[in-house]
A and B are shown apart, each in its own frame.
Chain A
């Protein structure tokens, strides 16, 4: 079965999204890369979206915009008359007295026009997904009556889409915020788009959204805000230069661009500079548009527009028989709700912080995609993937917690790494599993330990112990250690300990943050010590291997350096250890030169290699048989499963 897409078929702009890997994804237009497509259609050349918009002024009578305002409406409808005043194309009475569009002597139903937009969105989705798309969920305003919904469904069918469901835009927005998971909530959806304002009051009961009331202003939106700024800029310029930029279409377009940019920037900045040099000329002299616009000034300019939205909100609440304080959740939809002042006013009215984390231009399409996903069976709780909240690590030389599965890794997952021994002839390693963000094992939560023994005696760094961490979808961690030489395997299954409460996770993360600087210092000290230790082993081995081949004075020099490094191994600072390690390494290369070609390929010959792959056993367990009893008891504690 092919994917079902979710479509927000808007008055000004439309948007399409799809569920992918259990998450909604907005599909960008293949021609522009933008996530929304203008709902503009030119029929003669079949242009849809931005390309149709670019030629709109030239071909205004053949270019159709805002056709959603006509969907399923009768020609005598007041809204149709109002729409005719704002568009250049001709609206006529069609079959059954419905409003149709006349282009070049031919009539088209609004469904046919909308179908062109839907076809483009379908095509974009197919291009993105690489497969045919034949079904969709389409959103409509909550106030759409049956005839308007039917018309929208027909538009989908004309576009070659099986309309699986028509859902309300506010319901889609609530779905995008996951509010369907809550119980018995009252939700207000404040939708201030490009050309329309809608407020809907929803009531959620048993996972079903019921529209209690709707209200709004079908001719109020972001475009009005832009016009206000353009007027302000033009007036200010006129005051200074006695010239009206609105009369020069070229200059006006530049002012419009600047106004839109300023509006967007003022959502984040307190003040913007508007700079348009050489905007026009006066008496042969160039004039420049340079002005500053503060956020508070901008808010003053558009305050009446924001205030206009409050009355419909009050009416909608009244119709629903509710008070502002009865509302549990407020959702912001539409690009204009990015403006901080709009959020502030809505917050003041309802007395609570509105939900605005999902992109307001995309939230409706995302909700439609989620609904589509539910219908297609993509969204089921059983397959919701979880992440591991804290890092799962293994203790390596010097007590360092070496991460195996970092935090935020999506589960189920598994990770395998090869470790080695820390001392010569070490026949067992202890696998100590910890959970937490601190760099040292002791500071993290111990999840379990077990011992892998029977490793054939060999020089440090030679044995290869393969350690595998496997974390399943239920949070059960299985750690397996295998000696690659003998094939001997031990494992442990840890249940329960991996799952922590939110508080425990938060505490662990805070601890890590608090101790970050000190922990890093400690970890670096241990690393320096491990490097030094590895270098001592390498040096001693090299001298032994070189035998008579190395000049006596070089050997003595190396021995001196080894002694100097050994003396400070436990007490030296990180800097001293690094300096002395480097000295030893430099001296050692002289031995290397002397015995070049005679040395056997030993894995530990390179000091840096052995430190990069830290040995698992801590020093305490390095001597054979020592603390054997203690280790055995640890094995039992860790519930080792053979």
Chain B
């Protein structure tokens, strides 16, 4: 009986602690809810911005340029920005994903980005919304 009582006490304490922790986390989660909703929407909009940019590369139309500008402003207002990655930067897996490896004879070019295939985006708190896709140089002499 005593053991049963102690078991019950223990279980009650656990349940109450679980609940208290849940409450704390619910408060935190409420804060991140808005962020997640924005990110989810943004990830659906990004391919459209990419496509418009592709189109612009071909037709170079001033109207499309304005639309791209509007979409980018909107993204900025909502707290998103493009990750600044350029050719010659060292590859960083925290912001980019390797799309293709380009062999190079120059050891100094090893692990350097040779082309940004698709731009990466991040949220204002640093959360990567979409990793950039890049081509990376790999020196033939250095296997790492």
A residues engaging B (CB < 8 A)? 20-22, 33, 44, 47, 51-52, 54-59, 61-62, 104, 129-130, 249-250, 253, 277-278, 286, 377-378, 380, 382-383
Contacts and interface: CB of A to CB of B under 8 A. Distances in A.
Contact of A22 (B15, B93, B133): B15
Contacts of A21: 15, 18-19, 22
Given A20-B22, A250-B117, A377-B11, A58 B51 contact: no
A383 B99 CA distance: 52
Given A278-B55, A286-B54, A57 B22 contact: no
A250 B11 contact: no
Given A20-B18, A20-B22, A278-B58, A380 B11 contact: yes
A421 to B, nearest CB: 38
A333 to B, nearest CB: 27
Contacts of A52: 93
11 contacts: A20-B18, A33-B36, A54-B97, A55-B91, A55-B98, A58-B98, A58-B111, A58-B138, A250-B117, A253-B133, A278-B55
B51 A57 contact: no
B94 A51 contact: yes
Interface in B126-144: 131, 133, 136, 138, 143-144
Interface string B3-20: 000011011001100110
Contacts of A129: 21
A130 B21 contact: yes
Contact of B99 (A22, A250, A377): A250
A445 B96 CA distance: 64
Given A33-B36, A278-B55, A54 B101 contact: no
A52 B97 CA distance: 10
Contacts of A380: 11
B78 interface: no
Contact of B136 (A58, A61, A104, A382): A58
B100 interface: yes
Contacts, number: 68
B93 A51 contact: yes
Contacts of A278: 51, 54-55, 57-58
Interface string B113-133: 000010000000000000101
Contact of B98 (A44, A47, A56, A61): A56
A55 B21 CA distance: 36
Interface string B84-109: 00000001011011111100000000
Ranked 3 nearest A-B pairs via Cβ: A278-B54, A54-B97, A55-B93
A108 B142 CA distance: 22
B11 A383 contact: yes
Contacts of B133: 250, 253
A16 B136 CA distance: 33
Contacts of A383: 11, 15
A231 B18 CA distance: 49
Given A21-B19, A58-B138, A253 B99 contact: yes
Nearest to B57: A278
Nearest to A284: B58
Given A277-B54, A278-B54, A57 B21 contact: no
Contacts of B138: 58
Nearest to A129: B21
B96 A378 contact: no
Nearest to A21: B18
Contacts of A378: 11, 14
Contacts of A59: 144
B144 A104 contact: yes
B11 A54 contact: no
B117 to A, nearest CB: 5
Residue with the greatest number of chain B CB neighbours at <10 A, chosen from A55, A58, A250, A278 = A58
Given A249-B99, A377-B11, A277 B93 contact: no
A445 B88 CA distance: 77
A495 to B, nearest CB: 22
A54 B96 contact: yes
Contacts of A55: 91, 93, 97-98
A21 B20 CA distance: 10
Given A278-B51, A286-B54, A249 B15 contact: no
Given A104-B144, A277-B51, A250 B19 contact: no
A18 B136 CA distance: 40
A55 B55 CA distance: 29
B128 to A, nearest CB: 9
A207 B36 CA distance: 42
Interface in B1-55: 7-8, 10-11, 14-15, 18-19, 21-22, 36, 51, 54-55
A287 B14 CA distance: 61
Nearest to A130: B21
Nearest to B58: A286
A54 B93 contact: yes
A56 B97 CA distance: 9
Given A21-B15, A250-B100, A278-B57, 10 more contacts: A21-B22, A51-B93, A57-B99, A57-B100, A58-B98, A253-B99, A277-B51, A277-B54, A278-B54, A377-B7
Contacts of B19: 21
Contacts of A58: 91, 98, 101, 111, 136, 138
B36 A377 contact: no
